[in-house]
Amino acid sequence: MHRFFLPPDRTRGDVLALSEEDAHHASRVLRVQVGEPVVVLDGAGGELACVVESAGKRDVTVRVVKRAMHPPRAAEVTLVQAIAKTKAMDGILQKSVELGAARVVPLVADRSISVPGDADDKRSKWQTIATEAAKQCGAVWLTRVDAPQSPSAWIRRGERFDLVLIGSLLDQPRHARTHFDRFVAEHGRLPRSVAVIVGPEGDFTAEEYAAFKAAGAKAISLGPLVLRCETAATYCLAVVNHELSAP
């Protein structure tokens, strides 16, 4: 089943026009046919079962057959990720979507090898990657990608999370479960918002790490081996998902 994306304000009618990019892909690459079933996702919990109404070279329209609205995520997970090399960063974004992250905050850390020029342009490109990943895996809630910023700028924003974790090579880290268990013991419930911070190749500097700790981040272990940043991000999101799904 082919999936396409349209923002909520473009999914209100019975007949929907795909975006120019999706229309080109649908007609030229997928070669969809009139009457073929497809799915349209709106990134805000909406999943629309449709059939192709028209399939021209430049314009493709679909008719809505059934609408389904999925509930919000039980917990919102934010990946605060130091920017990696282009290919690795693209992979991190894709895995973040597949693992259900609500948001990715790219950080320009002191040891980040790749430093973007135009922040808004880079954010737009990363958001496109996240949107394509959502269509591929069928994610009904779109992962939002922030503009790149420094660790200190993110800390100054003072965002509130139930739990903030940071992968650590510099401290005496504990398994993530320790922090989840302590949170449940204190609050009688699982956290509803979690931020997990992952450093660049070579990790954060001691100063950056100290700033995160001062802002409330709790150190977690990523195992006995030193992981590449893309592996570390995937590991952290998988572990957080596991802990959030505990009965």
Percent of the chain with pLDDT over 70: 99
Structural domain count of the chain:
2
Domain boundaries, position 21:
2-69
Question: What pLDDT, on the 0 to 100 scale, is given for residue 47?
Answer: 97
Per the CB < 8 A criterion, the answer to whether 237 and 79 are in contact is: yes
Q: Which of 21, 46, 69 is the last residue of a domain?
A: 69
Residues 51 and 129 in one domain: no
Place of tokens 């949170």: 183
Token pair 């739990």 in the structure block, residue: 163
Asked whether residue 13 falls in the same domain as residue 43, the answer is: yes
User: Do residues 16 and 87 share a domain?
Assistant: no
Same structural domain for residues 119 and 183?
yes
Report, as an integer, the average pLDDT of 207-233: 93
Q: Are residues 106 and 45 in the same domain?
A: no
65 with 164, same domain: the answer is no
228 and 150 together in one domain: yes
**Does residue 36 sit in the same domain as residue 84?**
no
* pLDDT for res 41: 97
Tell me, yes or no, whether 87 and 141 share the same domain: yes
Among 44, 69, 94, which residue terminates a domain?
A: 69
Domain C-terminal end among 10, 36, 69: 69
- pLDDT digits 0-9 by tens, 34-57: 999 999 999 999 999 999 999 988
Confidence at residue 120, expressed as pLDDT on a 0 to 100 scale: 86
Output the domain CATH number for residue 153. Answer: 3.40.1280.10
- CATH number (domain holding residue 19): 2.40.240.20
Alpha helices (H) along 138-197: 151-156, 176-187
The average confidence (pLDDT) of the chain is 94
**pLDDT 10s digits, 54-92:** 998 889 999 999 999 999 999 999 999 999 998 999 999
- pLDDT tens-digit readout, 154-181: 999 999 999 999 998 776 788 999 999 9
Question: Same domain for 97 and 201?
Answer: yes
For residues 157 and 211, membership in a common domain is answered with yes
Whether residue 2 is predicted with pLDDT greater than 70 in this model: the reply is yes
Instruction: Say if residue 121 is in the same domain as residue 221.
Output: yes
pLDDT higher than 90, residue 1: no
Q: How far apart are CA 221 and CA 239, in angstroms?
A: 11
Q: For 83-203, where are the E strands, in sequence order? A: 103-107, 144-145, 163-167, 193-198
**CB neighbourhood size of 138 (10 A):** 12
What pLDDT score does 247 carry? 67
